Amino acid sequence: MANWRKFVNGAPVTAGLVTINVVVFILMVAVYHIQGVSLFSTFSGQSLLAAGARYTPAIQAGQWWRLFTPMFIHMSVMHLGMNMVVLYFLGQQIETLFGHWRLLAIYLVSGLTGNIWSAIFLPTTLSAGASTSIFGLFGAFIMLGIVFHGNPYIRAMSRQFVLLVVLNLVMDIFSAGIDIWGHIGGLIGGFAIALVIGVPTVHGQIKWIWRGLGGLALLAICAIGLPLL
């Protein structure tokens, strides 16, 4: 309990996001238990669709919220657990560097851009999970390594995250059922929004040309996604 209190006090937005994802999963188990779903089951496609998973035909029919809801929905307890462990550790670092509301912006914008790309490139499949947003957090770290390359600590840390991203994307290519396009879209979105909002705790300024490029990238992704609405 003391560790959780320390976590909440130090990284309240990360704690809130983890809590929301876990509560949503528990509620889904409670709602769909009548269909034979238990804590350790994988939800059926019908259950995921009803809960708000990303499905392009439904988005095109006017259910635009499916570009946001998937970042809080998980397919199984294993899926949830893996994502929440990464969010727990990565979110705290991003929240310390960027601040509370900037972390929330990175999480939400990355989830949106990831789901837009997923909807475009995988239109006939269902997708859900916080991994689009988590890849956005990776993207924010990579941005730090590029823009603040002269800072040895950030450069070293960023290299580690680049390696993790590459390994994850390679695994995505060879794994069935993984939404690689959602991950790539989230990664780009996280990189771009981090450029736009900046990082107040790191010495140095992000040049306006970088901020402009980040803003243009976000506008381009949203413009590509407009036909879905």
Distance from C-alpha of 3 to C-alpha of 161, rounded to nearest angstrom: 26
Angle between helices 180-197 and 208-225 (to 10 degrees): 140
Q: Which of 1-5, 119-123, 132-136, 190-194 has the lowest mean pLDDT?
A: 1-5
Residue with tokens 């006090």: 9
Residue 162 has pLDDT above 80, yes or no: no
d(CA 108, CA 189): 10
The confidence band for 3, taking pLDDT boundaries of 50, 70 and 90, is confident
Find the range with the poorest average confidence among 171-185, 187-201, 209-223. 171-185
Please state, in angstroms and as integers, the Cα–Cα distance from residue 118 to each residue in 64, 193, 224, following that order. Answer: 14, 18, 12
Of 127, 131, 133, 158, which is the active-site residue? 131
Give a three-class secondary structure readout of the chain: CHHHHHHHHHCHHHHHHHHHHHHHHHHHHHHHHHHCCCCCCCCCHHHHHHHCCECHHHHHCCCHHHHCHHHHCCCCHHHHHHHHHHHHHHHHHHHHHHCHHHHHHHHHHHHHHHHHHHHHHCCCCCECCCHHHHHHHHHHHHHHHHHCCCCHHHHHHHHHHHHHHHHHHHHHHCCCCCCHHHHHHHHHHHHHHHHHHCCCCCCCCCCHHHHHHHHHHHHHHHHHHHHHC
Instruction: Please say if the pLDDT value at position 216 is more than 80.
Output: yes
What is the distance between the alpha carbons of residues 26 and 48, in angstroms, rounded to a whole number? Answer: 13
Residue 227: partners with Cβ closer than 8 Å, 6 or more residues away = none
CATH code (residue 75): 1.20.1540.10
Cβ atoms within 10 A of the Cβ of 122, count?
17
Handedness of CA 9, 18, 103, 52 (dihedral sign): negative
In this structure, are residues 136 and 190 in contact, taking their beta carbons and an 8 Å threshold?
A: yes
pLDDT in tens, 55-99: 999 999 999 999 999 999 998 888 899 899 889 988 998 999 899
The answer to whether residue 176 scores a pLDDT higher than 90 is no
Q: Residue 36, Cα to own-chain centre: how many angstroms?
A: 29
- Domain with 36, as residue range(s), is 2-228
**Structure tokens of 86?**
């990464």
Q: pLDDT tens, 22-38? A: 999 999 988 876 555 55
- Choosing from 74, 110, 118, 183, which is the catalytic residue? 183
**33 in active site:** no
The number of domains in the chain is 1
Based on the residue annotation, tell me whether 79 is a catalytic residue of this protein.
Answer: no
